[in-house]
Structure 1
Amino acid sequence: MTIKDDQIIINQILGGDKRLFSVLVDRYKNLVFTLCLRLLKNREEAEELAQDSFVKIYKSLNKFKGKSKFSTWVYRVTYNNCLDFLKAKKRKFQELSVDDYEGFEIEDVDSAINNLEEKERKMAILSCIKMLSEDDAFLLTLHYYEDQSVKEIAEVMQLSESNVKVKLYRSRKQLAVILKRKLSNDMLLNYGN
């Protein structure tokens, strides 16, 4: 899939071949669902919001100007849709205190994680990411799992690049706290067996 391919399909859809939208849905359905799930932390709500995001993408397809990659634009529409949903529900997520991550460095956690097998490591990180606020989980997902650059994340989240860097740093610190707690508990449990 290339940027050029997406643009050709978009132009054909805007020209009247609305059936081609299913091609875009097939290309981006996993990405959209994953982002919704990371933000909402609920499978049913994520499925519903993913569908709703595609409706919004379809209705506003004529607003895509091609200044960024289509996938970046899809991220932004999905992200904004999820934020609107969360605001409407007025969900509150517990935030970690800055004081919780004094006394250790991210590198310490990284070295402990590297001792886990690849599959276990991925599962541990994903379960810990789910414990973060929706913004932090979304940011880390984009950066580490969707390989988005700071510039692309800034476009999606409509933030400055420097703000994304700060948020990324803080999110990693919060993730480090959660990982350290999880790894310490898991090590204690494994030692007890």
Structure 2
Amino acid sequence: MTTNNDQDYINQIINGDTKAFSLLVDRYKDMVFTLALRMLKNREEAEEVAQDTFIKTYKSLHKFKGDSKFSTWIYKIAYNTCLDRIKKNKKHFNDVAIDEFTEHQIKTIDHALDKMEQKEYQKTIQDCLSLLPNDDGFLLTLYYFEAHTLEEISKIVGITANHVKVKIFRSRKKLATILKQKLEPEIIEYYERERR
């Protein structure tokens, strides 16, 4: 299931070519860092966890069997390393209250987002994701930005695909709550224009 290119690098590394590992690091470092940042909410800690993830990956590369994508395997290592760091720091993150949203409200929020310029849209999404509790931002990033399937995410976080689906649904509702607060001015402006 892993890409041939990744498997070629893995074989080279196992056969003693340590330089091939830097190619894998280059390929996955940004996403590993982003996922760590989503969970830890701290740049320095995310950098440390990303480093730890690649050290653990290197040391256990011989255990990778190729029955899932290499990205799934490395993201699972990153996820578990983040959990270890959270336990170590004994940090607790506030949960976002979930409001009930009608389909119309969500479409209105989507419409307001569509009106924003692409750069501003991406910044808004990133800002809102960073306000989510650690697991929520991690799951939404894997599902929407990395386009992992529920089955792949299930392997990464170690829960059933159905449980992942429920957690993603709840995470989306939390994100909608944050987006609603952040986009309230744009929504009001949209309604005022539509009434004219």
TM-score (norm 2): 0.88
* CA distance in structure 2 between the aligned counterparts of 1:92 and 1:185, rounded to whole angstroms: 31
Partner of 1:145: 145
Aligned 8 A contact 2:33 2:50 in 1? yes
| C-alpha RMSD of matched pairs (Å) | 1.8
Aligned to 2:194: none
Counterpart amino acid of 1:122? Q
Query: Which one-letter code corresponds to 2:181 in the other structure?
Result: R
- What is the 5 A alignment of 1:1-193? 3-98=3-98, 101-105=99-103, 106-185=106-185
Q: Deviation of residue 97 (structure 1)?
A: 3.0
Distance 2:17 2:114 in 1: 50
**SS in structure 1 opposite 2:131?**
coil
- Name stretches of at least 5 consecutive residues in structure 1 with no aligned partner: none
Shift of 1:46: 1.1
Counterpart code for 1:102 = E
| 1:135 CA displacement | 0.2
Q: Could you say if the C-alpha distance between residues 7 and 104 of structure 1 is closer, same or farther in structure 2, counting changes exceeding 3 Å? A: same
Normalised to the residue count of structure 1, the TM-score between the two structures is 0.89
Q: Is the 8 A contact 2:56 2:77 kept in 1?
A: yes
Identity of aligned residues (%): 52
Find the aligned partners of 2:66 and 2:169 in 1 and give their Cα distance: 30
Q: Per-residue CA shift, 1:69-101, capped at 9, x if unaligned?
A: 101101110111011101111111111234xx1
Find the aligned partners of 1:143 and 1:14 in 2 and give their Cα distance: 31
Indicate conservation of the 8 Å contact 2:96/2:133, yes or no: no
Q: Which runs of 5+ in 2 are unaligned?
A: 190-196
1:29 positional shift: 1.2
The count of corresponding residues between Structure 1 and Structure 2 is 186
Q: Which moved more, 1:12-21 or 1:71-80?
A: 12-21
